[in-house]
Amino acid sequence: MNKEGIIQELKFKAVRSSGAGGQNVNKVSTKVELSFELEKSTNLSEIEKNRLLKKLAHKLTKEKELILQCEETRSQHKNKELVIKKFLKILETNLRVPKRRIKTKPTRSAIEKRLKSKKRAAQKKANRGKPDLD
């Protein structure tokens, strides 16, 4: 994954932020909206694109576009940096290939220990009944 190349493909749009903030909210467009067209990316391989399409299916639009927003700070530049970090983190986590699980058998001692504890529990429960007075 070529981070610099992918960052070059990003499109940004500044929008007015919502919520409280007085004159700053009404005047300045501090909210940053990032959009990334997944299928048109030249810096991702076909395998990476397919993996992202599967993993990010619920976050993509109908045009296979990922849209992220950030309005945490009052600075447009800071929000742009934050949304880029968020985007790169999403890509890294979803491109990571999980390790294959290796099946293992429990050891003989572990099996014996489990069976002993089961017998002990069963004996304990059997002793809870009313005693025979015969």
Q: What domains appear along the chain, each with residue ranges and CATH number?
A: 3-95 (3.30.160.20)
**pLDDT of 81-126, one tens digit each?**
999 999 999 999 999 998 999 999 999 999 999 999 999 999 999 8
List the structure tokens of 31. 């909210």
Q: The pTM is what?
A: 0.71
State the CB neighbour count (10 A cutoff) for residue 74: 13
Tell me the C-alpha distance between 15 and 28, whole Å.
8
The residues facing 12 across adjacent strands are 34
DSSP calls for 102-122: PP-PPPHHHHHHHHHHHHHHH
Say which residue the tokens 């880029």 belong to.
84
